[in-house]
A = this chain, B = another copy of it.
Amino acid sequence: MSKTETRLSGAGKDPDFAEIFAALGDPTRLAIFDRLSDGQARSIAVLSDDADMTRQAVTKHLHVLETAGLVESHKVGRESRYVFCPDRLALARAWLEHVAGRWDFALMRLKSFAEDDSR
């Protein structure tokens, strides 16, 4: 396989789509993920500012996002910064595209069948 590991087999576990969607399936996490999508790294304290819950709760959400591979963290000084991570997101997108594509194909076949029928 090429050096740029398109398939995530190199990441250890096979792409667990359900885990990715589950990580996005919470309003708080979705908001955090959306906020991080501008590429800026942010500390837990900053990310906890506008959330109406404890810093520890936000920390847990960040852990969920991180184990799902949607964000990454690195410590700088005394604070740990979280950054957007696009790889798994691309996987999720690909899966949705695949499903939507299958639906479109089915619809197309149905349509051509109907035309066939009316001929």
Task: Give residues in A with beta carbon < 8 Å to B.
Answer: 17-27, 29-30, 33-34, 37-40, 84, 86, 89-90, 92-93, 96-97, 99-100, 102-103, 106-107, 110
Contact = CB atoms under 8 A, between A and B. Distances in A.
Given A17-B30, A21-B21, A22-B22, A38 B89 contact: no
- In the A-B complex, the 5 residue pairs with the closest CB atoms: A22-B25, A39-B106, A21-B24, A21-B25, A25-B25
Interface of A is mostly: helix
A103 B37 contact: yes
Nearest to A17: B30
A107 B29 CA distance: 22
Given A26-B22, A106-B39, A93 B90 contact: no
